[in-house]
Structure 1
Amino acid sequence: MAAASPKVGNGFPKVTRTAKVVIIGGGMAGISAAQRLKTAGWTDVKILEARDRAGGRIWTQRLGPNTIELGANWIHGSEGNPIYKLACDHNLLKNAARLQTFNDRYRLRGDTFLPGGQVIDREIVQEFLEMYEELIEECSDFFLQKKTPQHPDESVGNYLEQEFPKRLGLSYDNDDVKRLKMNLFKQHLKQETFTTGCHSMKEVGLQAFGEYVSFAGGNINLPDGYDTVLDVLLKDIPPECMLFNKQVKCVLWDQMVADNSSAERHSQHAISIVCEDGEIFKADHVIVTVPLGFLKKHASTFLQPPLPEKKLRSIAKMGFGVVDKIFLEFEKPFWEAGSPGFQLVCKEDETDPRCPQEWYKKLYIFYVDPKAPNTVFAWLSGEEALHMEALTEEEVAHTIVQVLRRFTGNDDIPLPQRLMRSRWGGDPLSCGSYSFIAVGASGEDIDTIAEPLYSQHTREPVVQFAGEATHRQHHSTVHAAYLSGQREADRLIHMCRA
């Protein structure tokens, strides 16, 4: 005869380390939660991962001498960042020749080109950056200093577009320099979209912009690939705990069954996780770590009973954008040795591209990564990224090389010998790249999305939520995913009755 389930005062099962926990998603949040539970002595933990690999939006590829990050690229900050601490504790930053860091907001020190190969004076670029960064800080101050925008639904984009010309008009620059700085400003607004994860900064709410908290210490590019951090955590998770190619169709999370006396009660293992291949897993607790983009598309059907209206509204209000990367590998570099990259700045009549046909006009900054010799890569966001995803590799390569020739003045730049790109917008498992607080949303919406679901029959959470979009201060980052996974594991650990 099976042992009776442990009971609490009202007759319901209690949380124990033998409870069955199923984690949906094997990205950083899911792996972090599983690692925390396993090291705390939990015996029955499974990760259901829809892909054939771990990592989710961490996706490191190795091709010959090249290490390519198709997903997460940097550790965002060193002071207080748990991912940086993991990297240091496990000696993941030792390869100094491939280690790369950038200052906050990824500002390059390389050349800034106008069409025709003209390089903008670096002193002018630096003066512009100082003015621009002051405005970005002002945007954050609306939240940090509890200031009220002139309009309740004001966007970061609108604020910047209103304020920058005013500040520029008060400067002592001559008209030519002012025109240059205005062009730099318009290009930086494009760069800000890949930093934030949106199509336009007019989608980003001004009042909540300062919710995001940065760790000091710049941005660090892991020398041997971002997946080396995943490997550290996976060492504590037995391989049999993670099942690949297991896409979840639906979570039946508040079921009733009949006991032997026919009296209805809530059963242990009352949650059923139904996979697309028909297999069903039972659990006492489920931790959902799917991307917000996936929830936005499937929120009404992914959980049954459906999510509460309040949570559905918050999922709808939050932003989740598309940010892609394009890597071009050449036989030999056409850029200066040791350069971290370069920037392209359009002239006045070209700064507002027709979207999405002129997708290439949103290309602004090209990075050189020491992990990938002879390779440059660029970010592309929003509708232009979605348009690029639908083009052939040949079309993308030809267009970008034409852009590079035009701006550098070097007509001898050849077509790349290889092009690689991400396609996060068309990925049905992510439906985009990362989250942002949109106009009309707030940090409270992040907290609402993160709030567990409680069965009407028990006092413990049965469905929990983790992932970068569930962390109020650090959303959009790998460390947010890591911390949120630990948070949900700790929620169970702290309730555990041994």
Structure 2
Amino acid sequence: MKPTTAISLVLALTIAHHASFAAGAGAGPRVIIVGAGISGISAGKRLSEAGITDVLILEATDHVGGRMRKENFTGVNVEVGANWVEGVNGEKMNPIWPIVNSTLRLRNFFSDFETYLAQNVYKEDGGVHDEAEVQKTIDRAHEVGESGEKLSATLPTSGRDDMSILAMQRLNDHLPNGPSSPVDMVIDYFIYDYAFAEPPRVTSLQNGVPQRTSTDFGDDSFFVADQRGYESVVHYLAGQYLDTDDSGNVADARLQLNKAVNEITYSSSGVTVETEDGSVYQADYVMVSASLGVLQSDLIQFKPQLPKWKILAIYEFDMAVYTKIFLKFPERFWPVGKGREFFLYASTRRGYYGMWQEFEVQYPDANVLLVTVTDEESRRIEQQSDNQTKAEIMEVLRSMFPDEDVPDATDILVPRWWSNRFFRGSFSNWPIGVNRYEYDQLRAPVGRVYFTGEHTSEFYNGYVHGGYLSGIDSAEILINCAQKNMCKFHVQGKCFSNDADLSL
């Protein structure tokens, strides 16, 4: 093929792509949104409400919803990603709750994590630990946690005196060398790792205790177990501004699936976005809703390279890994009934298949168990075969229930969020030393490149409602620039002694 012919073909393809983009165009600037998870879809909805309807959403995977994703497991749809509406029945309304409970009426179940927990902590050699002794451990942990909340409230908002949750525990003469006994470790894991997906030695006290989700929206959590999937929330939001088919699935040319973005070129006049299949798109602005893990990888190349302050902010946050492993059995051998839904395995190895949930109510007669692992255990498990993981789990279960005839699991489902190049983890965590200044930088635009995602939610990172609200917040920043010519993003100085404006 002659060079001129090749150039003509490329131009023709480019024009075709742009034509399809413009087909659904409305008034206002053109915006490309990278990612069709709840943040990207939420941002698109807010832009549309403001009259910016010339949007194109490029999604790397074959589905809408991002880390809100159901998967069929032996005939039952289970949630491999987000599963709970966390933060309900407080003074303020969690914006996700009415969509789930009233609008879509998704099947959901109150999760009573703690009332009966002390009765359900299993020993490595079988049977349960003494309830009274376990309850003492739980009560002491909560007593220290309450002290931590008071201490956190006294720390300067600049974050300069922040500490890890573990440091706070030590200040309270609680497990000065870290949790060491199996019961201490599994209770500590339940309270902190199960929430943040990283241990107390990593997690920031100031940004983790108390949890603003509970403070603002309430302490209750509801487990979504609907065959339509928790992702229905994202489809519902998308349907507010994108065309859908009779089944409620998005059927709009402004949403393109299987379009993995690998390059974003930006200048003062606009942006060019390229995907791995060779497609090229141009717009006035781009909103990047890829996960923090993706931003920390080399999947998307920015040209020019993002400024150092932005790169540093991206790398200062953690992308944690939270793995929900589902197992199917030919018959039930574990206890069921009131107070039996959640149970713990107190191993001498912290985080080793410790957090269990049974589904007598949510998935009747399914004979499915869920065990959750995080952090280093998640990464280890992702690198071994499912058969090896199943063998480890069966050994644990037979240790927990030595008097039962425990059959082999017939099926296992092991999500691999960390290994998936389109996610690189499950959700973000605020580590020690990261404060409002770095958060503002993480959220801040760079020229015509805007950023959103649960990791940019100051108070609710890691949560579904955090992703939803961050989409709205980031869209507002773009709207202010595009429609009001307010194109400077204000970042207060690290110690509040100086200010900085990140000009666009």
Aligned to 1:49, which of 49, 59, 76? 59
Q: For the residues of structure 1 that align with 2:100 and 2:131, how far apart are their CA atoms?
A: 34
1:121-160 equivalences under 5 Å are: 121-146=130-155, 152=161, 154-160=163-169
* CA displacement, residues 215-266 of structure 1 (integer Å, 9 cap, x when unaligned): 31411112313122122112222222211111111111115xxxxxxxxxx3
Amino acid in the other structure paired with 2:193:
T
What is the Cα deviation at residue 133 of structure 1? 1.8
> 1:292: Cα distance to partner?
0.6
Q: 1:29 aligns with which of 36, 39, 43?
A: 39
Question: SS at the partner of 1:50?
Answer: coil
Partner amino acid for 1:61? E
* Aligned counterpart for 1:247 among listed residues 249, 260, 263: 260
Residues 212 and 472, structure 1, Cα contact 8 Å, conserved in 2: no
Counterpart residue number, 1:340: 341
Residue 153 (structure 1) shift: 6.6
Distance 1:243 1:227 in 2: 17
Does residue 296 in structure 1 map to residue 309 in structure 2?
no
1:384-405 Cα deviation digits (max 9, x unpaired): 2111112111111111011111
Name the residue aligned to 1:222.
Answer: 224
Q: Does 1:38 align with 2:51?
A: no
Q: Specify the SS of the correspondent of 2:126.
A: coil
Match of 2:454 in 1: 468
Secondary structure of the 2:369 match is strand
Aligned with 1:113 (options 107, 122, 131): 122
Secondary structure at the counterpart of residue 406 of structure 1: helix
Determine helix, strand or coil for the equivalent of 2:205: coil
What is the CA-CA distance between 1:291 and the residue it aligns to? 0.6
User: CA separation in 2, counterparts of 1:395 and 1:185?
Assistant: 28
Could you tell me which residue of structure 1 aligns to residue 497 of structure 2?
none
Q: Determine helix, strand or coil for the equivalent of 2:68.
A: coil
| Counterparts of 1:452 and 1:20, CA distance in 2 | 16
Q: 1:108 to 1:306 in 2, by over 3 A?
A: farther
The corresponding residue for 2:465 is 479
Inter-CA distance 123–434: structure 2 relative to 1 (3 Å threshold): same
Quote how far apart the aligned CAs of 1:469 are. Answer: 0.4
Per-residue CA deviation, residues 345-397 of structure 1 (Å, 9 max, x unaligned), is 13xxx246xxxxxxxx6221101234442111111111221111121111111
Q: CA deviation at 1:88?
A: 2.8
Say how many residue pairs are matched. 435
Whole-Å Cα distance in 2 between the matches of residues 313 and 231 of structure 1?
34
Distance 2:272 2:457 in 1: 27
Could you tell me how far 1:108 is from its partner in structure 2? 4.3
Q: Helix, strand or coil for the counterpart of 1:62? A: strand
8 Å contact from structure 2 (residues 287, 449) kept in 1: yes
1:409 aligns with 2:402: yes
| Cross-structure match for 2:353 | 363
Q: Equivalent residue of 1:87, what SS?
A: helix
The 2-side partners of 1:107 and 1:315 are apart by 40
Output the TM-score relative to the length of structure 1: 0.80
From 33, 52, 69, the equivalent of 1:59 is 69
Q: Distance in 2 between matches of 1:208 and 1:279?
A: 41
CA gap 1:276/1:485 in 2 versus in 1, 3 angstroms: same
CA contact (8 A) 2:318 2:431 kept: yes
| SS state at 1:77 partner | strand
Q: 1:450 to 1:424 in 2, by over 3 A?
A: same
- 1:83 Cα offset (Å): 0.7
Query: What is the CA-CA distance between 1:492 and the residue it aligns to?
Result: 3.8
Matches within 5 A, 1:439-450: 439-450=432-443
Pairs within 5 Å for 1:309-388 = 309-338=308-337, 339-346=340-347, 350-351=348-349, 362-369=352-359, 370-372=361-363, 373-388=366-381
Deviations 1:60-79 (A, max 9, x none): 11345522111111111113
Amino acid corresponding to residue 221 of structure 2 in structure 1: N
Asked if the contact 2:58–2:255 (Cα under 8 Å) also holds between the matched residues in 1, the reply is: yes
**Contact kept? 1:193, 1:381, Cα under 8 Å:** yes
In the alignment, is the contact (CA less than 8 A) between 2:450 and 2:478 conserved in 1? no
Distance 1:307 1:449 in 2: 12
**Aligned AA for 1:326?**
I
| 3-state SS, counterpart of residue 130 of structure 1 | helix
The one-letter amino acid paired with 1:469 is H
Aligned partner of 1:189 in structure 2 is 188
Offset at 1:212? Answer: 4.2
Q: Is the 8 A contact 1:108 1:340 kept in 2?
A: no
CA displacement, residues 127-168 of structure 1 (integer Å, 9 cap, x when unaligned): 3222212222333433322279xx957421243256354799
Contact 1:141-1:210 at 8 Å conserved across structures: no
Deviation (angstroms), 1:485: 0.6
SS in 1 for 2:432: coil
Q: Deviations over 1:424-470 (max 9, x none)?
A: 1111111111111112222321221001223xxxxxxx221110100
Instruction: From the superposition, tell whether residues 82 and 109 of structure 1 become closer, same or farther in structure 2 (CA, over 3 Å).
Output: farther
Equivalent residue for 1:76, pick from 86, 97, 114: 86
Q: In structure 2, how many angstroms separate the alpha carbons of the residues matched to 1:387 and 1:395?
A: 11
Tell me the distance in 2 between the aligned counterparts of 1:251 and 1:139: 43
Q: Tell me: CA distance 1:91–1:316, structure 2 relative to 1, closer, same or farther (3 Å).
A: closer
Match of 1:425 among 412, 418, 438: 418
Contact 2:204 2:431 in 1 (8 A): yes
- Alpha-carbon distance in structure 1 between the residues aligned to 2:117 and 2:425: 26
Task: Please report how far the alpha carbon of residue 23 of structure 1 lies from its aligned counterpart in structure 2 after TM superposition.
Answer: 0.4
Question: RCO (CA 8 Å, sep 6+): is it higher in 1 or 2?
Answer: 1
Q: Distance in 2 between matches of 1:272 and 1:211?
A: 42
Change (3 A) 1:61 1:38: same
Amino acid corresponding to residue 489 of structure 1 in structure 2: A
Contact preservation (8 Å) 1:197, 1:320: no
Q: Using the alignment, how far apart are the partners of 1:432 and 1:342 within structure 2?
A: 25
Compute the displacement of 1:480 (Å): 0.6
Separation (CA, whole Å) in 2 of partners of 1:154 and 1:145: 12
Q: Which amino acid is 2:232 matched to?
A: T
The one-letter code of the counterpart of 1:289 is S
For structure 2, which runs of at least 5 residues remain unmatched after alignment? 1-25, 244-250, 485-504
- Native 8 Å contact 1:92 1:228 kept in 2: no
CA–CA distance in 2 between the matches of 1:333 and 1:228? 30
Root-mean-square deviation over aligned CA pairs: 2.9
Taking the aligned partners of 2:210 and 2:468, their CA distance within structure 1 comes to 18
Structure 1 stretches lacking a partner, 5+ long: 1-15, 169-178, 256-265, 353-360, 455-461
The separation in 2 between residues aligned to 1:491 and 1:441, in whole angstroms, is 22
Structure 1 counterpart SS, 2:296? helix
